[in-house]
Amino acid sequence: MFSGFCAVSGSPVRPNDYNRYLLRLDTVTGKKRTGTMHYCCWPCVCDTQDFIRVDTKTVATADGPKKYHFAVLGNPCDKAHKLNEEFVQPFGLRKTTLSQEAAEVRCIEGKLQGATLSDNGFPIIAMFFDLPNSHELSLARELAFQKSDNATQDGSIVTMEGAAADESDQGLARRFGPPQPGRVRVEAGVQVQDEYEWKDMCTQRAQAGYNSGMGEIFRKVAEISSPAAVPRALPAADV
C-alpha cells in the first residue's frame, strides 16, 4: 500500500520498475540508510533529498514486534504559527497560507493531528523500502562519510556477497559515469532509477527557484522544521 502513492505530492502511482527510485538518506540518528521509494515524477527525488529523513517504527506483528524503516519529516507543529504565514505560490502567483492549502495539517497543543509517529517521535509520511542489500549499501555510504579506517579511500566496502559497494559521491561517478536521467539499472536483483542520475537536474531546479514538480506544499510544510533541526543523537531507537 505504501508503494501506491507519492510521499511528496500525494499523487497515486502505479508502482513498477520504472518509478522505483534508489535513495541514500540520513537517518534521524545521524547514520545513513539506502532504500527505495516510488514517485510520480523526478522532482520528488530532489525534495526528498532536501527534507526527508529515515527512522524506524516498531510494529506489532503476528510474529512479535518488528522494526521497519519509514520516511519522516520534522514536526511542523514545532512552529505552528508558520501555518498561517502568507506566501506567494510560485505557479499561480497568488498569496495564500498553508492553513488554506494544507488544511489537514492541524496542530493542537503542539501535536500534529492524525500523525503516526516514528520510534523517535517524527511524523511518518511513507515507508522507506529496503533492498536485499540495503544494510551493506548503508554501511558503505556511512563509511564513505566517516572516512573510517575500515573503508577504502574511495569509500567502498566488500558486501556479504563479496561484491564491492562504492557508495561515495566520487565512487558513484566512477561506477556509473555522468548522470543519465531516466536510466534504469539493477541493484541486488531489483530495477531502480538511482537518485544519482538526477543530481544535475536537481541542482538546475534549485537554481530556477523550484519551478517544476508537484511538491510545492510539501516543501512549504517540510521547511517549517528543517532537516538541520532534527536531533542527531536520540536514545529511544537506533536506525
Domains of the chain: which residue ranges?
A: 2-74+119-224
Spatial distance between the Cα atoms of 177 and 180, rounded to a whole number of angstroms = 9
Helix, strand, coil percent values for the chain (each to nearest 5): 30, 25, 45
Q: Which of 225, 237, 19, 6 is nearest to 123 (CA)?
A: 225
Q: Which three cell numbers stand for residue 55?
A: 527512522
Question: What's the predicted TM-score (pTM) here?
Answer: 0.85
Higher pLDDT, 110 or 38: 38
Confidence of residue 216 (pLDDT cuts 50, 70, 90): confident
Contact indicator for 72, 48 with CB cutoff of 8 Å: no
* Strand extents, DSSP E, 86-189: 87-88, 95-96, 107-108, 111-112, 124-127, 156-158, 164-166, 185-187
User: In the prediction, which pLDDT does 151 show?
Assistant: 44
Cell numbers 545513513 label which residue? 32
| Average pLDDT, rounded, for the chain | 86
Residues constituting the chain: 239
Residue type, 88: V
